[in-house]
Every structure is written in structure tokens, then in C-alpha cells.
Amino acid sequence: MGDCVPSIAAALRACMPCPAAPPTRHWILADRVSESRAQPGYTIDVRINGVPARDSLGRIAHVRGIFIFANGIFDATPSSGPVSAYQLRSLIQAIFLEDVTGHAFWAAIDARNLLDDVFFRHWSSLDFPYLAAGTQTGANAPIDATQTADYGLPLFPNGATGYSAPIGFYHPLVTLGPGMNPLAGLIPLAALQRRSGQGSLRFKLGTVIAGAPAGITFTGVENGEGNAGLDVWLDVVYLPALAVGPAWNLDSYTLPDSSGILQRPEDATEHVQIRYFPEDVPGGTLNGQEACNNLDNLTLRIAGFTEMDGLSIFDARTRSLMFAASERDSALIRANAKNDLPLYNPAPGGPPNLTALVLVPYRQAGMGEAAGDLNYKWSTMGGNSFVRYLHRTVGCNEKERVNAMAEAVECDPCSKTIPTDARGNAAANGTTKATLLVLDPQARGV
């Protein structure tokens, strides 16, 4: 009994050894962007080099989500406003996310595209802070969740000075939910830190809210502590091996043609929607996001299979709603206004006007996604001079890219390569379509 035991915890470890280890997942404040760097009109290169690329056990950091904590500060003249919370996110624009190979996951896209992508991957908004709230009943119940509060800018009957409202967002790079591959979408942190030139994550603070009424001036931002500037947080998970997934991409682009092939036909498509911005004026009877309702007689063929064959706009709207209605956790099924964008605007006395048309519903790569040419044809565009598409694609895992990722974290991709299936499990021998390659650094004693 002469030995000293420093603590009960130490005694328990001595009796039942359990190796010490830090937790695998962390939310890390990567960059507290100062006021001098976060001015309207400035491009912000996010500094992420201070985040450890490995933990104390040598496990490798992977980014699984990004959160920008920013409250916009606004001055308003009398009778200006309102502006929706969705539209306030147009102030975070020209967003780039690029890795060491130069691949762009995001290339000059808008924060609203990120909100939309999360919605169409989950059929529910997962954003924080919330954009809106409301009730679970409405004029068109049971298919309508009425939004009664919007957390954007209100109508300012007497004007305002220094009014604060959230403009930041949370974006999970992985798709959350039962059955989803928890590795798909991860980006090795070192692959972002070692990008040469401009920062791998950068964005511009706009000067004017897109489509906003006159009289509202964006004067600056505040961070989570209420000080001038903004915060960038990373959702990081430390894994015992390097996960290198196929190069995915999210893009929003416009095409003026009534027929053709959508962009990136060499890649697989996880989802594609017709999704206008609220300020878009394509020229038809309806403008803004409802401009998708001007299109009619829609035809879509994928890899030689006809998805839609001259479908009327009425049937196309029904088809879009049914994709949402057939997902267990969708905002539509749960009648949850807080988690809706919304997908449609009720039209009294007639069918709802959708704010997006679903062309290809979300399917995670390896779980039935579309691939090949996406041939479209609109027999009538209803006066629209262009169509705006939101398109998420996944490419192939090329050897050069895998090698570059491995070099960035200093491990050998040839040491031990484990292909995985679409759910992140080790694939059986002979599997030819692995969605991820997990590279084991332990083979080199890392």
C-alpha cells in the first residue's frame, strides 16, 4: 500500500487499461476575421493554417462542414425593406473552395447556392441561424407550412441605424442522414492548407443586397462576440486513415438555349434543379424564382433513358412536389416551415407556383446517381431568355489527384489502398466502382 495513486481515474486506468485519446470530431474556430479584412467589397482569404492537420495520435484531419458566423449591419431610410433572410445571403458571394490539385468544389458561387444545395440533398433546410419560422397548418393544409416570421430585414417605417441581422450560414460538406456515406464529401484539411497562391477558401463580401429595395445600406459585419468582423468555423473529424473521395462540384449557371446538353457531361450528376435567383428577370410572365413556371412541355433524357417526355408544367410541378413528398424527413412531409425555403408559393384558386423544378433528384454517388449526357428540351420557354440550373456533380478519382492528396498529408498512397462501397464500408474484392479510396498511413508508421 506504499504506492501513491495520483487519482481515482488513474487507478481505474491501471485496473482496466483504456488508451488515452482525444475525441475524433471538433468544431474549430479557424479564422476570426478582423474588421480591417471584413469590409463590404473585400475578398476574404480564410486563414485555416492554424488548424492542426493531425491530432496527438497522428490521426488525419478532414473537413466535413463550414460555418460562417456573421451578422450584417444595415442603415435604412424610412419605408425601406423588407428583405428576406435568404436574400441577405447574397452578400456572401464569389465563394471558392479549392484543394491542392487546383480542383474547385465551389467556383465563384453564391451563399444562396449553398443553402439550396443543402436543401435538395436533404429535402430540408439545415441552416443555422434559421431563415424563417412558422406554423404547421395553412390555407392549403396539409401540403402547406405557412412561414409567419422571416429573420431577414423588416419594413422600416421610420428608418434605422445599425440594424443587425444574420447573413452567415452552415454548410455540411457530407450528406447527413441514415444510410448516407459519412466519408463522401470529406476534404482532407492538409489538401486545403497546401493549396498554393490564393487561399483555398475565400469569398467576397458584397456591397449591395441582390434585388434589395432602395434605401438599405450594408455598412459592415459583426462576429459571434459582437465585435466588428466575422468568424469562420470548420467542422473537423480526425480519422486514422486518409479518405480521398472523387472530386465533387457544385455550380449554378444559366443557359439561353431551349435544348441542349447540361454542363459537365463527363461527370456523374448527384442532383440538378431549375433554380432561379429572386432577382432574376428572364422576361416571362413570372420572374424571380417563380420563373421556372413559365417553362412548358419539358423533355429530359439521361443516358438514352427518357425521364420526362414533353411533360406539361402542371405535371412537372406535381413531379417535383412528389420527390419532396416521398422523402420521410422532408420539410414538406413534416410540414415544417422552419426547414422549408420554401419550395413553392401557394396560388389561391390554382396549383402552387414552384420556386424550383426538380430535373434530377438527389442520389449520393454510388447509390443510383445519374451519369452521362443530360439532354434537355423545353418546347416553350414562356418568354424566358435563359434558364438557371443548380447542378451538383461527382467526377472520377484519378491517380494523380490521389497522389497529390497523399503527398499533402505525407503518406504513401501505394502503401495500403482500401476501396470502399457507397456507404463507406470496405468493398469486397473485385469491386470496380468504389466511391472512395481510404489510404492507410499506418503502413508507413505515420
Q: What are phi and psi of 441, to 5 degrees?
A: -75, -15
Q: Are the CB atoms for 360 and 218 separated by under 8 Å? A: no
Determine the Cα–Cα distance for residues 142 and 219; give it in Å rounded to an integer: 42
Give the largest CA-CA distance in the chain: 91
Determine the Cα–Cα distance for residues 199 and 193; give it in Å rounded to an integer: 8
| CB burial readout 229-252, b (16+ within 10 A) else e | bbbbbbbbbbbebbbbbbbbbbbb
Determine the pLDDT at residue 348.
72
Alpha helices in 242-390 (DSSP H): 313-325, 331-334
CA distances from 245 to 62, 198, 249, 314, 419 (A): 11, 23, 12, 39, 10
Determine the pLDDT at residue 337.
87
Which residues does residue 228 pair with via DSSP β-bridges, in sequence order?
A: 222
Determine the Cα–Cα distance for residues 353 and 143; give it in Å rounded to an integer: 13
Determine the pLDDT at residue 96.
97
Instruction: Name the residue among 226, 198, 232 with its Cα closest to residue 63.
Output: 232
Which DSSP string corresponds to 392-445?
A: EEE----HHHHHHHHHHTT--TTT-EEEE-TTSSBPPTT----SEEEE-GGGGT
Determine the pLDDT at residue 432.
34
Fold match, 22-241 / 248-394: yes
The CATH code belonging to domain 248-394 is 2.60.120
CB atoms within 10 A of CB 438: 21
Is pTM beyond 0.85? Reply is yes
Q: Where are the domains of the chain?
A: 22-241, 248-394
Determine the pLDDT at residue 223.
95
> How would CATH label the architecture of 22-241?
Sandwich (2.60)
Determine the pLDDT at residue 128.
84
Determine the pLDDT at residue 418.
60
Determine the Cα–Cα distance for residues 318 and 357; give it in Å rounded to an integer: 10
What is the full per-residue pLDDT of the chain (446 aa) written as tens digits? 445 556 666 665 566 666 778 888 999 999 999 999 999 999 999 999 999 999 999 899 999 999 999 999 999 999 999 999 999 999 999 999 999 999 999 999 999 999 999 999 999 999 888 899 988 766 555 456 778 899 999 999 999 999 999 999 999 999 999 889 898 999 999 999 998 778 899 999 999 999 988 999 999 999 989 999 999 999 999 998 888 888 999 999 999 999 999 999 999 999 999 999 999 999 999 999 999 999 999 999 999 999 999 999 999 999 999 999 899 889 888 888 889 888 888 777 777 789 999 999 999 988 889 999 999 999 999 999 999 999 999 987 777 888 888 888 887 655 555 666 666 666 654 433 333 444 443 333 32
Q: Residue 107 belongs to what H/E stretch? A: strand 104-109
Determine the pLDDT at residue 433.
38
CA distances from 349 to 139, 163, 346, 352, 353 (A): 11, 38, 9, 9, 12
